[in-house]
Structure 1
Amino acid sequence: MASITKTNAMRILEKEGIPYQLYHYDGDTFVDGVSAAAKIGKPCEMVYKTLVTISANKNIHVFVIPVGKELHLKKAAKAVGEKSIAMLPAAQITQVTGYIKGGCSPVGMKKRYATVMDRSAQALDTIICSAGKRGMQMELSPRALAGLIGAGFADVVIGDETGS
């Protein structure tokens, strides 16, 4: 196996003493999260994607949700105290986060943004998310990840309605 260049996300985890397991696959082109899960042989329920949103008053918010789910914009806005939010245009991802689409990690963005992880992560011992480069995923404790990035947990995906 060729030597792996550590990403900013990996360096931060190591500096903080947070254990993680690295997975990689050919990341030359963008693949959706469900395909990424298949490429590393892990169930979709434990692989999470990092989504970046923007509010009407230009606040950036980050959401970490299962790859097989969609962000519920109204629930997400409520979770971060905004009237409404929209997905950040893909062309702005690198400028805002320092990462490219398909390689956006919740760890090590240019700035620390308000971040919410879907509550489903709380039921898992580990989740897998981007390590900060296409084709690189890292498995770690969702509680350790939340503590590191200052994230809260909330129901923010479509199809997880609790009687509403």
Structure 2
Amino acid sequence: MTPACKLLKQKNIVYTLHEYSHDANSTNSYGLEAVEKLALPAHEVFKTLLVSDGKNYYVAILPVSHQLNLKKVAAVFGCKKLALADAKVAERLTGFVVGGISPLGQKKRLKTVIDLTAQRLQKMYVSGGRRGLDLGLSPSDLSVLLGASFIDIIDEKNI
């Protein structure tokens, strides 16, 4: 039971667990590996990225099949410029390992945005807090739990 699962259970949020065997030799990104192994549509599986302006850290949740548009996210958070956070810093701040960073149950709650495409889904999938574990839940439940808004944050091109 990861911190993400504990939080959902504590808040009485309906969710589903989706486990798969993570392949350490996979050439896919962690998110695309989840898409493949769980046989889910790529637009329903979301990755959790940490970004920073050098001083503050923020969370962006977007489909695994897209790239984050740093300019759009910077505008949302009122920053001049943002960059992806260093992996070690992301792990320290969230309490999760890269490839298993969940937006839920992080050590420190950070300001978060969810890509607008999630709003059209009945269910979205996010990391459950370890590699090989995804959680399926309603986008609106995720938004409420995180105090997150749905904003256009992706680059128009797919990965």
Alignment TM-score > 0.5, same fold: yes
Q: Which runs of 4+ in 1 moved over 4 A?
A: none
> Aligned equivalents of 1:28 and 1:159: distance in 2?
29
Q: How does 1:54-65 map to 2 (within 5 A)?
A: 54-56=52-54, 58-65=55-62
Deviation at 1:137, TM superposition (A): 0.2
Aligned counterpart, 1:100: 97
Residue of structure 2 equivalent to 1:155:
152
TM-score after normalising by structure 1: 0.90
Q: Equivalences for 1:14-163 in 2 at 5 Å?
A: 14-27=9-22, 29=24, 32=29, 33-56=31-54, 58-159=55-156
What residue in structure 2 maps to residue 3 of structure 1? none
Which deviates the most, 138-147 or 87-96?
A: 87-96
How far apart are 1:80 and its partner, in Å?
1.2
Deviates more, 1:139-148 or 1:151-160: 151-160
Counterpart secondary structure, 1:75: helix
Secondary structure at the residue paired with 1:13? helix
Contact 1:34 1:67 in 2 (8 A): yes
Using structure 2 for the length normalisation, give the TM-score: 0.93
Please, what is the CA RMSD of the aligned residues? 1.3
Structure 1 gap ranges (5+): 1-5
Deviations 1:112-157 (A, max 9, x none): 1000000000011110000001000000001000100111111000
Structure 2 CA distance, aligned partners of 1:22 and 1:69?
A: 23
Is the 8 Å Cα contact of residues 28 and 134 (structure 1) preserved in structure 2? no
Q: What one-letter code is carried by the residue in structure 2 that aligns with 1:61?
A: Y
> Higher mean Cα deviation, 11-20 or 22-31?
22-31
Paired residue total: 154
SS of corresponding position for 1:120: helix
> Which shifted more, 7-16 or 26-35?
26-35
Secondary structure of the corresponding residue to residue 154 of structure 2: coil
Q: What percentage of aligned pairs have identical amino acids?
A: 38
Whichever residue aligns with residue 10 of structure 1, its letter is: C
For the residues of structure 1 that align with 2:58 and 2:90, how far apart are their CA atoms?
Answer: 12
| Paired residue secondary structure (2:156) | coil
Query: Structure 2 CA distance, aligned partners of 1:38 and 1:120?
Result: 20
